[in-house]
Amino acid sequence: MRQVRHLLEEKGGEVYTITPEAPVLDAIRLMAERRVGALPVMRGETLAGIVTERDYARKVILKGRSSRETPVSEIMTPAPTTVSLGTTVDECMRLCTELRVRHLPAVEGNRLIGIVSIGDLVKAVIDDQAAEIDHLQRYIAG
């Protein structure tokens, strides 16, 4: 069973982050430039929260707030659910489904290691299923 460590090895270790004091506009701009849907919010080396495109839509746009004047800290999800490097893909899928979240920061101790998205998880499940189907077809033909 694949684990978070395997997903992060495949996708690489680069993680884009933002500070709680940064304006929401900077967060949205960074997400657009890096083609990601969420950013871990870091206070120094500590994970303070996570900000997502969904947070922006619901807490800025729909409330008529200013992206330039609103700090990330006012719309982020504080203390997000995190996973460890040993968490399985199935457990991550369960968390995403139950908590209705699309991104899970991966931490080791208090250190942010990466972030796993629902897209990463779905890709892993599809890849595993394809490998299993191939294995079964070879066994049957064999």
In CATH, the architecture of 4-141 is Roll (3.10)
- Side chain identity at residue 85, one-letter code: L
What pTM was estimated for this model as a whole?
0.88
Determine what percent of the chain is predicted with pLDDT higher than 90: 78
pLDDT reading at 122 higher than 80: yes
pLDDT reading at 131 higher than 90: no
pLDDT reading at 62 higher than 90: no
Helix axes 89-99, 4-11, angle to 10 degrees: 90
Give CA–CA dist 15/3, Å, rounded: 18
List the chain domain ranges: 4-141
pLDDT tens, 20-38? 999 999 999 999 999 999 9
Give CA–CA dist 92/105, Å, rounded: 11
Residue identified by tokens 């399985």 is 88
Determine what percent of the chain is predicted with pLDDT higher than 70: 100
Mean pLDDT value across the chain: 93
pLDDT tens, 71-84? 999 999 998 999 99
Give CA–CA dist 5/87, Å, rounded: 8
pLDDT tens, 76-115? 999 899 999 999 999 999 999 999 999 999 999 889 999 9
| pLDDT given at position 1 | 83
